[in-house]
Amino acid sequence: MGLRPLRRTPETETRLIDMALARLSMKFGKSGKAAAHAAYIAREAQYARRLHHGEGLEAKETGNLPAWAKAEPNRFWQAADTYERANGTTYREMEIALPRELTPAQRLALVRGFVAQELGERHAYQWAIHNPNAADGHEQPHVHLMFSERRVDGIDRDPEHYFRRHNPKAPEKGGAKKGYGPYGGGYLSAAERVAHLKGLRQRWEIACNAALAHAGRAERIDMRSHLERGSTIPPERKQLPSEWRQPETRAVVLAFRQARAERAAAQAGLNQAFPNCGAAIIQLEAERQRRAKEAECQAEQRRRAEEAALLALKDAKTALLAEIPTWADAAVLDYADRVMAQNQTATEQRADIHQDLIKALIQDVTRMGHPPTSLPVELFEAAADDCLGPMMARCQQARMEQERQAEVTRQVEEAEAERQRQAEAEVQRIRQAEEAERQRLLAVDVSALARQRAQWQTELEKLQQTRPPSADWLATGWAGLSEAQAKRDQALRQLEAVIEAFNRWDGSAASWLGLKPDERRAWDARIRQAKADLDHATKAVTAAQRRFSDLLPQARAEVQRQTDEQQRRMATLRQQITDCEWLMKQAATEQSKALLDHRAPELPSIPYPKPRFPTPGG
């Protein structure tokens, strides 16, 4: 597909210049269109079939993409479609015509240089060079340069995080900041957009003409309009893509181009035969104005380059100041030792560190796409001065940390030595204790221990056979219930005996006819006394039963105490028996060793003759 005039819509910012080799347009895409357009310019997915229809794809590249999109660039544009706000811009695109007079390699170098100049390392981009056939049958090379307005700031973000709204106070918590060109992402008026686009076209004109001159070609491009050049050649009416695809419309346009070319040739011949001084003056004035504008544009370009380089220097200084505290102590000390070895005095050392800081800042600014010659060396020296103090402080901090670490190491070594001494002392103490224990075991009387063990075993067996009294038995004894019951039973038997004796007397002749009334009164008195004794004994039993109920909890506690005391005594005896057996065993073993160590010398061995076995037959 060749380059065609673009429809003027709200999504298009374009001022197309109708020239054969001079064309640059700028447009932007809304949410949902970035991934498809990236696939279109890269001729991927459904657009790959265009390559099979004779259209050339000379080259394509990507740059400044996040780590998660470097292997698959279309992921970046898919994330932009997904996470960019609905009314946001997902990409901007420059569509630029390339000179057909240059070779593909020369066009590739021209595009790379222009991309480095305009975008550098500030924006993620993707571009592709297409080369279809033009209407005249020759090449029509052009480049689609697609880039994100989000600025690369070195912060690692995931896809969703990358396209969030920017957080100025905490950039790491928000998305990458938007901003393309000198306006920092602000809203531009129509006049500012026109001025920005004209400046962009002038920079492209300078870069393209320089490439043509370097290739030894005489052709040049002019990005000015016919009116600005003072040309009387009628401009070609802009055609929509749908109009260009109509054979009738295309034939009219081609005829117009042929007539315009013939008119230009006739005018050139007429000017050669009859020079027109007025026209020449107009052309010279136009050329003078063009060169003046070109010089002004170059000066403006240098000014902007210097401003951008100054901003890059500030960013580099800020980044360096932020990095200095994070450097590893070992690396800082190694660097400081190397500087001290190469320089004798402190002044020379500071000067050497100052030069290294200048080199680091120059490298950072160069890596951002700005040559070191774009700024005076005094600015780099001033920035290095700002970084020198923190750098010296970091070296001093690293040295102090080294000394602190050495002190900690010394204290650890001393503590380890002290621990070793304590361990050796503990080993010596253990050995002494073992020797004392050995001497104690040698002095133990195993026979006496055996007798003591037998006594303890006998006592333990007796305790195991003994059962503590019951709580009822104790409470009964404490309350005197048994004695009271015995007295009551005795009083009852006494009453029964008196009654039985009275009954025998009452049935006898001695009691007949009311004789002996005194004896009857005596028997009545005896019965009353027996009953009184029984009543008294019964009350005593009742009182004893009450005391029994009151004393029963105390009796139970006493039984439990005696049981616990018996269990404790049994446990003590078992432990004593176990300890005694262990001591007897240890003492017997140690005493046996002592006897073996002092045993009599061994008797010499007596050689015996070897036995002779009979041989077969002998």
- Look at residue 112 in the predicted model and tell me its pLDDT: 93
Top-confidence residue, 614 or 420 = 420
Measured in degrees and rounded to the nearest 5, phi and psi for residue 564 equal -65, -40
Residue 9 clears pLDDT 50, i.e. is over it: no
- Residue with more model confidence, 245 or 536: 536
Q: E-strand spans in 235-390?
A: none
CA dist 566 and 108 (Å) reads 107
Question: Which 8-state DSSP code applies to residue 164?
Answer: S
Higher pLDDT, 266 or 234: 266
* pLDDT at residue 274, as a whole number: 63
> Is a pLDDT exceeding 90 seen at residue 331?
no
Q: What is the pTM of this model?
A: 0.44
In the prediction, which pLDDT does 37 show?
92
Residue 280 is predicted with a pLDDT of 64
233 vs 96: which has the higher pLDDT: 96
State which amino acid sits at residue 34: A
What is the pLDDT, as a whole number, of residue 372? 72
Q: Work out the average pLDDT over 303-307.
A: 79
Q: What is the pLDDT of residues 139-161, one digit of tens each?
A: 889 999 999 989 988 888 999 98
- Across the chain, mean pLDDT equals 82
The count of other CB atoms within 10 Å of the CB of residue 595 is 9
Higher pLDDT, 302 or 237: 302
- Position 487 scores a pLDDT of 92
Burial 541-565 (b: 16+ CB within 10 A, else e): beebeebbeebbeebeebbeeeeee
Mean pLDDT to the nearest integer, 344-355: 86
Identify which of 52-61, 371-380, 420-429 has the greatest average pLDDT: 420-429
At residue 282, the pLDDT reads 67
* pLDDT of 281 above 90: no
**CB contact at 8 A, 109 and 140:** no
DSSP state of 221: -
Architecture of the structural domain at 12-217: 2-Layer Sandwich (3.30)
E strand residue ranges, 142-266: 142-151
Closest CA to 332 of 408, 406, 393, 383: 393
Percent of the chain with pLDDT over 90: 27
Q: Other C-beta atoms within 10 Å of 207: how many? A: 16
Residue 505 has pLDDT above 50, yes or no: yes
What is the domain partition of the chain in residue ranges?
Answer: 12-217, 310-405, 450-508+517-590
Q: What is the pLDDT of residue 276?
A: 60
Could you please state the CATH topology (level 3) that the domain comprising 450-508+517-590 is classified under: Helix Hairpins (1.10.287)
Percentage of the residues of the chain whose pLDDT score is greater than 70: 83
Residue 600: pLDDT over 80: no
The pLDDT of residue 565 is 92
For residue 25, which phi and psi values (nearest 5 degrees)? -125, 155
Q: Specify the higher pLDDT residue, 129 or 597.
A: 129
Q: What is the pLDDT of residue 145?
A: 95
The pLDDT value recorded for residue 183 is 52
Task: Please say whether the beta carbons of 569 and 484 come within 8 A.
Answer: no
According to DSSP, residue 145 is labeled: E
Residue 209 CA to residue 212 CA, distance in Å, equals 5
The answer, yes or no, to whether residue 542 has pLDDT greater than 50, is yes
- Determine the 3-state secondary structure of 86 from DSSP: coil
Amino acid identity for residue 576 in this structure: Q
Q: What is the pLDDT of residue 521?
A: 85
Give the pLDDT of residue 154: 87
Contact call for residues 579 and 445 (beta carbons, < 8 A): no
Provide the CA 399 distance to its chain's centre, in angstroms.
30
For residues 147 and 87, the model is more confident at 147
Hunting for tokens 């004593």 — which residue is that?
576
Q: How many CB atoms lie within 10 A of CB 221?
A: 19
The band of 187, judged by pLDDT with boundaries at 50, 70 and 90, is low
Give the tokens for residue 430: 């253990």
Taking alpha carbons only, the member of 143, 55, 54, 132 closest to residue 107 is 143
Task: Check residue 142 and give its pLDDT.
Answer: 92
Residues facing 89 on adjacent strands: 30
Residue 238 pLDDT class (50, 70, 90 cuts)? low
Q: How far apart are CA 142 and CA 23, in angstroms?
A: 9
Residue 106 pLDDT > 70, yes or no? yes
Q: Which of 377-381, 577-581, 599-603 has the highest mean pLDDT?
A: 577-581
Same fold, 12-217 and 450-508+517-590: no
**Higher-confidence residue: 485 or 248?**
485
Confidence of residue 430 (pLDDT cuts 50, 70, 90): very high
- The sign of the CA dihedral 580, 586, 591, 596 is positive
Is the per-residue pLDDT at 250 higher than 80? no
**Given a cut of 90, is residue 311 above it in pLDDT?**
no
